[in-house]
Amino acid sequence: MDFFTAMRISSSGLTVQRTRMNVTASNLANVDTTRTPEGGAYKPRHAVVAAIPVAQTFGEVLADKLHTQTTGAEVVTITADEGPGRLVYDPTHPDSNQDGYVEMPNLSVVNEMVNMVTANRSYEANVSAMQSLKQMAKNAFEIGA
Amino acid sequence: MSVLFDRLTTTIERSLDFQLERGNVISANLANVDTPGYTPTDLQFSEQLHRYLVGEMPRGISQTDGQHLSTVVDEPRADVEFDHFALPNQDGNSVDLDHEMSKLSENQIKYRASTTFYNKRMALMKYAITEGGGQ
Amino acid sequence: MAAPVQFPSLGPQSPMTPMFGESRPGGRLSVVSLDGAALDEARGAGIANADESGAARGVHKPFTDFLKAQVENVNSLQKEADTAVAAMVTGQSGNLHETMIALDKADVSFRMMTKVRTKIIDAYHEVMRMNI
């Protein structure tokens, strides 16, 4: 029963969404990248999100009489898609192989745009949650006034 | 003095506690809107609060004599339940963003309502005590 | 001429009335009569009615015992408020409204006690001024 637990949960959500935005931005920027330091075309990145218990002080754990065990979220890892890239026939391209095919990143701009929009919406939702909680705290301060 | 604080006041206090915790739960659902396999939870407490208010907390073993010990603590409980409002998407995540947002607004309003009710009751009492004056 | 102060008979109830006593209309409020609508409400609200068990006996507890118990109650409310504030500032508890409510209850109960004390003293003076 804690104002600050909820704030930590919401901020973990905000971090997750921001990371997803970064990943999406990186993918979108590299939609035509055929050369990477690792060799080959750019591999699309993907954020893996997991639910984690929010770190609480011992006193808060004791006070959690309701045992709701709420969890925040966390980006556990950012994986690269190891599958083969898209082969596009373009013999004039400097990176084309002997058959004239260029390996392009296996990305869909449309997918990434959708990811961007949902990350944005989720970010706003978490901001609303935090604002709602701040408002509740203000109301609590007015008790007894 | 304890005579001032009756069961309704205590019910209001408990409802504040529960609503705060429900805010936590909703925040957790929102933070996990993209976590694969996550099912949103919700907190149910209105039935328990009502029973607490009217004094009908469920009894454990029956007490045929006034001196028997009661096995039930006279406190309302909030139950955590899975909220199966939406179907899971292909990740296994079933958080409905709009549903959670509307629950968030509702919770905030109810919290505000509870604090206002508490304040009004106490203000009346304080007025009586300090402004009563006279004989 | 002030109305004579009422000391209603306490009945055989326990002076240590619990905070969460059951709310029953017509519960007896054993305190010096004060003004205000809230007192009517408080009168109707909760003292844990030990009337059933004691009514048969019809024993009256001294008023001083009741007063002492109420003062102890006020004291314990003050202590609870202190504990709540301490927990809050040391970061052990994040429950804002619990702290605010504890402070508010301590405030109300203390004012009530002060007012009761004033009334009792006024009543005493009034009685002492009577010409016999």
Cβ–Cβ of C42/B131 closer than 8 Å?
A: no
Residue C88 in any domain: the answer is yes
Report the gap between the CA of B92 and the closest CA in chain C (Å): 33
Contact A122 B33 (CB under 8 A): yes
C67 within domain boundaries: yes
What's the structural domain count of chain A? 1
Residue contacts between A and C (CB atoms, under 8 Å): 38
Does A57 sit within 8 Å of C97, measured CB to CB? no
Q: CA–CA separation, B9 vs B118, rounded Å? A: 7
Cα separation, C132 vs C130, whole angstroms? 6
Q: Is A122 within 8 Å of B97 when comparing Cβ atoms?
A: yes
Instruction: Print the domain residue range for A68.
Output: 3-141
The closest CB to that of C18, out of B2, B115, B135, belongs to B2
CB contact under 8 A, C92 and A141: no
Please indicate, yes or no, if residue C14 is contained in any of the structural domains: no
Whether C108 and B126 lie within 8 Å, measured CB to CB: yes
Cα separation, B125 vs C12, whole angstroms = 27
Give the Cα separation of A16 and A22 in Å (integer): 10
Q: Does B102 touch chain A (CB under 8 A)?
A: no
SS3 C128: helix
How many domains would you assign to chain C? 1
Interface contacts A/B by beta carbons within 8 Å: 119
Res B71 pLDDT > 70: no
B51 in contact with A at a CB cutoff of 8 Å? no
> DSSP letter string over B44-79?
E-HHHHHHHHHT-PPPSS--SSTTSPP-S-S----E
Task: Write down which chains contact chain A via at least 3 CB pairs under 8 A.
Answer: B, C
pLDDT, tens digit, for every residue of B13-42?
Answer: 999 999 999 999 999 999 999 899 899 999
**Chain A residue at shortest CA distance from B26:** A129
Which residues in chain B touch residue A4, judged by CB atoms under 8 angstroms apart?
A: none
Confidence of residue B112 (pLDDT cuts 50, 70, 90): very high
Please answer whether residues A114 and A24 qualify as being in contact, where contact means their C-beta atoms are separated by less than 8 angstroms: no
Residue reference for tokens 């203390």: C110
Please report the pLDDT score of residue C50 as a whole number. Answer: 40
| Predicted local confidence at residue A15, as pLDDT | 93
Residues 46-85 of C with CB under 8 A from B: 46-47, 53, 70, 73-74
Residues C113-125, buried b or exposed e (16+ Cβ, 10 A)? bebbeebeeebee
Chain A residues in contact with C92 (beta carbon < 8 A): 57, 59-60, 63
Distance of alpha carbon C57 from alpha carbon B58, whole angstroms? 31
pLDDT of the residue at C7 = 47
Residue given tokens 């947002």 in the structure block? B101
pLDDT at residue A63, as a whole number: 56
Assigned domain for C40 exists = no
Of A87-91, C6-10, C84-88, C95-99, the least confident: C6-10
Token pair of C76 as six digits: 């314990």
Closest CA to A133 of B117, B80, B31, B24: B24
> Mutate which of C92, C93, C105, C108 to disrupt the A interface (most A C-beta within 10 Å)?
C93
Convert the pLDDT of each residue in C64-117 to its tens digit. Answer: 888 888 889 999 999 999 999 998 888 888 788 989 999 999 998 998 888 888
* Min distance A29 CA to chain B CA atoms (Å): 23
Count of other CB atoms within 10 angstroms of residue C12: 17
**A145 close to B115: Cβ distance less than 8 angstroms:** no
Contact A2 C87 (CB under 8 A): no
Check pLDDT > 60 for residue C20: no
Q: Is C86 on the interface with B (CB under 8 A)?
A: no
Q: pLDDT, tens digit, for every residue of A7-33?
A: 889 999 999 999 999 999 999 999 988
| Residue tagged 């604080």 (tokens) | B5
Q: Which domain holds residue C96?
A: 61-128
Chain B residues in contact with C35 by the CB 8 A cut-off are: 128, 132-135
Which of the four pLDDT bands, split at 50, 70 and 90, describes residue C5? Answer: very low
- In 3-state terms, what secondary structure has residue A72? strand
Cα separation, A36 vs A40, in Å, equals: 6
Instruction: Decide if A132 and B78 are in contact by the 8 Å CB cutoff.
Output: no
